[in-house]
Amino acid sequence: MCKDLKSHTLHLQRVVNHFTTEQIASNRLQLKASIFIVRYLAFQAIAFRGQDESFSSLNRGNFFESLAKLKKAIREEIGDAKFCIMVGEAHDESMKEQMAVVFRYIDAEGFVKDQFLGLIHVVDTAALILKKGIYSLLSQHYLDIQNIRGQGYDGANNMRGMWNGLQALILNDCPYAYYIHCFAHRLQLALVKASKQVNPISGFFLTLLFLIKIVNASCKRNEQLKVANANEIARLIDLEELKTGSELNQIDTLQQPVETCWSSHFRSVSSLLRMFTPTLEVLQNIIDDAILGEHRAEA
């Protein structure tokens, strides 16, 4: 396993080193364009959303219409070239399942580019539904399915399944759309598997998950955590133990680790360290206010 981790790490480092200054600048430009649109609409008090944001709408609202110009430029750059698709799925804060689609292709100057082209809401994560969503996106941008030369997903069964997985369904339609398991996802799975073999580490994250479950179990507790966090920040500022400035000392929340996201475990532990005192206060409130012994015992 150590050998696999080393090889994956070296591969990821080679990928990072391969990025050119032009590619990095291009990615930053796209991000800045999205931020510019958001800031412009906000400062001008212009509504983001439209009355009808469906793909068939003639006016999907100011934000989507502005982003459409970016997507048009990406589509023109792809042209009739071959491309690969990289897809990730996750649910958002409103518990809607979202599928992000990124296209990898070589531009006219010979540079490899990764461009985000769409976020698709899907009602289910079944392979057929995911395939339908991807094909719909391709159709909207007049991209030929037969030009797909690669697929990159995580290792979930609905994605990689040999017979009924998304990669198999697309491969049936396009025999050159070879599937590659996401290397970052492989590394994450290896790390999670290794950590579960060490009892103290495994026990720590089980306790962390249990703690987050208790504190985030209701809107009331979330609100208590925010208030306690704000009070703790104010106290530390008064003691001059925290720096003040733009975008510093934001009201935070506990982050739950996710096995398929390699950096989420670090964020989860960091969030608990930042909010340790407010978390203890919420737990004490649960003990004091609980009517049923179950919640009191858990806290």
Claim to verify: residue 29 and residue 157 sit in the same structural domain? yes
> What was the pLDDT predicted at 15?
58
**3-class SS of residue 114:** strand
pLDDT of residue 172: 92
Q: List the one residue out of 177, 191, 19, 192 whose CA is nearest residue 112.
A: 19
| Residue 94: per-residue pLDDT | 60
108-122, pLDDT tens digit by residue? 888 888 888 877 888
pTM of the model: 0.54
Residue 179's SS3 state is: strand
- CATH number of the domain where residue 52 is located: 3.30.420.40
Residue type (1 letter), 140: Q
> What tens digit of pLDDT does each residue of 257-269 get?
877 666 788 888 9
137 and 210, same domain (yes or no): no
pLDDT surpassing 80 at residue 141: yes
> Locate tokens 């950590």: which residue?
195
pLDDT digits (tens, 9 = 90+) for 158-211: 777 666 788 889 999 999 999 888 777 777 778 888 888 899 989 999 999 999
Specify the pLDDT at position 181. 82
Residue 80, classed as helix, strand or coil, is coil
Residue 126 counted as domain residue:
yes
pLDDT at 170: 92
State the Cα–Cα distance between residues 21 and 4, nearest whole angstrom: 29
Per DSSP (E only), the strands in 20-136 are 83-91, 97-106, 112-121
Instruction: Give the pLDDT confidence score for residue 16 in this predicted structure.
Output: 59
Percent of the chain with pLDDT over 90: 14
Give yes or no for residue 9 having a pLDDT over 80. no
Whether residue 194 is contained in a domain is answered as: no
Query: Where among 129, 163, 189 does a domain terminate?
Result: 189
Q: Which of 9-23, 41-55, 137-151, 237-251 has the highest mean pLDDT?
A: 137-151
pLDDT in tens, 269-278: 998 998 899 9
Residue 217: band (very low, low, confident or very high) from pLDDT cuts 50, 70, 90: confident
What pLDDT, on a 0 to 100 scale, did the predictor assign at position 1? 47
Last residue of a domain, which of 160, 189, 218? 189
88 forms bridges with which residues in the sheet?
Answer: 100
Q: What local confidence, expressed as pLDDT, does residue 70 receive?
A: 79
Q: Are residues 209 and 183 in the same domain?
A: no
Between strands 112-121 and 97-106, the pairing is antiparallel
User: Which range marks the domain in which residue 12 is found?
Assistant: 2-189
Q: What does the block give as tokens for 212? A: 């987050």
Phi, then psi, of 94 in degrees rounded to 5:
-90, 10
User: Does 215 fall in a domain?
Assistant: yes
Indicate whether 92 pLDDT > 50. yes
Q: Compute how many other C-beta atoms are within 10 angstroms of the C-beta atom of residue 262.
A: 17
Res 266: pLDDT: 87
Instruction: State whether 74 and 212 are in the same domain.
Output: no
Question: Alpha-carbon distance 250 to 64, whole Å?
Answer: 28
Q: How confident is the model at residue 108, as a pLDDT?
A: 84
Structurally, the chain folds into a number of domains equal to 2
Mean pLDDT estimate for the chain: 80
Domain boundary among 144, 160, 189: 189
**Residue 101 belongs to some domain of the structure:** yes
Instruction: Tell me, yes or no, whether 111 and 210 share the same domain.
Output: no
127 alpha-carbon distance from chain centroid: 20
